[in-house]
C-alpha cells in the first residue's frame, strides 16, 4: 500500500520527518478498523524508511480523535471480537514500540481510543483547545492503563481511568500528560519543529534514548547506571557518534571565541 492509496489517513513527507494526519473528519476521526490497519501499515513503512527520522501524528486543526468507531462497534458479532481487539493491539503496539520518535500534535478532543493513541506517542504537543478523557469505564470498558501510568504516575493514572473526567490542556501540562501547550494556530508548527530538531540528531542515539526510557525505570539504581553507560560506550565507539561529538565541541569552542 502506498501513501496515496490510504483512505483514512494522509501522509506528508517533509525534510527528515513525516506528518501522519487522521483523515475521517466527518466521523470525528473515529478509529475504524480500516484506519487502524492503515496506521499500522503506514508506521511499518515509515520505520523502514531511513530518510524519515521522526513522525508527527495529528488529527488536524479541530479534533484529534473521538475514539473507537461506535457505529462499527455496534455491528461486531461475538465471534469477531478476538480479531477486532487484535487489530487494536497491533496498531497501538506498532506505534508504541516504533524505533523513531513520534510526536502527537493534539487539537480538540482526544477521548477513549483517541486518548490511548496520544499516550503511546513519545511526546505530546497540545493545542490550548485540547481535551483528554477516558470515559470507557462509564460504558463498562477499561481504558489503556500502562502508557498513561508512564506519563502521569500510578495514582494519577488510576484517577483518570476510574473517574473519566475531561482534562483540559493546561491541566494536562500541569500533571505531565503533555510536554507543551501551544496556541491553536501554532501547535502543529511547534510539533513539526520538534520533529525537525530530532531528525537532525543521531538516529542511533535517539533510538537508544527511547530504549533506555523503557528499560531503566524497571531496574535498580546500580543496574540502571550500568545499562546506560554500556549503551553510551557502544554509541561512542561508532564513527558517526564521534563525528557528532567533534562537531559539538567545535561549535562550542567557536561560540566561546565569538563571545570573548
| Domain ranges within the chain, ordered by starting residue | 3-199, 203-259
Sign of CA dihedral 207, 179, 119, 109: negative
Sequence length of the chain is 260
- Report pLDDT for 67: 92
Q: DSSP assignment of 198-229, as one string? A: HHTS-HHHHHHHHHHHHHGGGS-HHHHHHHHH
Catalytic residue among 80, 136, 159, 165: 136
The separation between CA 245 and the C-alpha centre of its own chain, rounded to angstroms, equals 28
Long-range contacts of 156-165 (CB under 8 A, 24+ apart): 160/134, 161/134, 161/137, 162/137, 164/133, 164/134, 164/135, 164/136, 164/137, 164/138, 165/133
Residue 196 C-alpha from the chain's centroid: 15
Would you call 6 helix, strand, or coil by DSSP?
coil
**Which residues have CB under 8 Å from 219's CB, separation 6+?**
227
Between CA 111 and CA 109 the distance in angstroms is: 6
pLDDT of residue 5: 86
Residue 140 is predicted with a pLDDT of: 76
State pTM to two decimals.
Answer: 0.85
What is the per-residue pLDDT for 147?
92
Domain 3-199 adopts which CATH fold? 2-enoyl-CoA Hydratase; Chain A, domain 1 (3.90.226)
pLDDT given at position 233: 61
Stretches where the chain sits below pLDDT 50 are: none
Query: Tell me: the pLDDT tens digits for 4-50?
Result: 689 999 999 999 999 999 999 999 999 999 999 999 999 999 999 99
CA distances from 243 to 24, 240, 247 (A): 44, 5, 6
Q: What is the pLDDT of residue 34?
A: 94
Query: Taking the CB of residue 205, how many other CB atoms lie within 10 A of it?
Result: 17
Is 230 catalytic? The answer is no
Q: What is the dihedral of CA 179, 182, 187, 191, to 10 degrees?
A: -30
Amino acid at each position: 500500500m502506498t501513501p496515496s492509496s490510504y483512505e483514512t489517513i494522509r501522509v506528508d513527507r517533509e525534510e527528515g520527518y513525516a506528518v501522519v494526519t487522521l483523515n475521517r473528519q466527518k466521523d470525528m476521526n473515529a478509529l475504524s478498523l480500516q484506519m487502524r490497519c492503515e496506521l499500522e501499515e503506514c508506521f511499518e513503512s515509515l520505520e523502514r524508511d531511513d530518510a524519515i527520522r521522526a513522525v508527527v501524528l495529528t488529527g488536524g486543526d479541530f479534533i484529534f480523535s473521538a475514539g473507537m468507531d461506535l457505529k462499527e462497534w455496534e455491528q461486531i458479532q461475538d465471534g469477531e471480537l478476538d480479531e477486532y481487539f487484535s487489530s487494536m493491539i497491533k496498531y497501538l503496539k506498532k506505534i508504541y514500540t516504533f524505533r523513531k520518535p513520534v510526536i502527537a500534535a493534539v487539537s480538540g478532543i482526544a477521548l477513549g481510543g483517541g486518548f490511548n493513541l496520544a499516550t503511546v506517542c513519545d511526546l505530546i504537543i497540545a493545542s490550548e483547545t485540547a481535551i483528554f478523557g477516558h470515559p470507557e469505564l462509564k460504558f463498562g470498558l477499561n481504558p489503556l492503563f500502562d502508557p498513561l501510568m508512564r506519563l502521569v504516575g500510578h495514582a494519577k493514572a488510576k484517577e483518570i481511568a476510574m473517574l473519566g473526567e475531561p482534562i483540559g490542556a493546561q491541566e494536562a501540562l500541569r500533571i505531565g500528560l503533555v510536554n507543551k501547550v501551544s496556541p491553536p494556530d501554532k501547535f502543529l508548527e511547534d510539533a513539526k519543529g520538534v520533529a525537525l530538531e530530532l531528525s537532525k540528531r543521531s538516529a542511533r542515539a535517539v533510538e537508544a534514548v527511547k530504549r533506555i526510557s523503557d528499560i531503566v525505570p524497571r531496574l535498580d539504581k546500580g543496574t540502571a547506571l550500568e545499562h546506560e553507560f554500556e549503551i553510551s560506550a557502544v554509541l561512542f565507539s561508532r564513527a558517526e557518534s564521534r563525528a557528532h561529538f567533534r562537531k559539538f565541541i567545535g561549535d562550542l569552542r567557536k561560540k566561546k571565541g565569538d563571545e570573548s
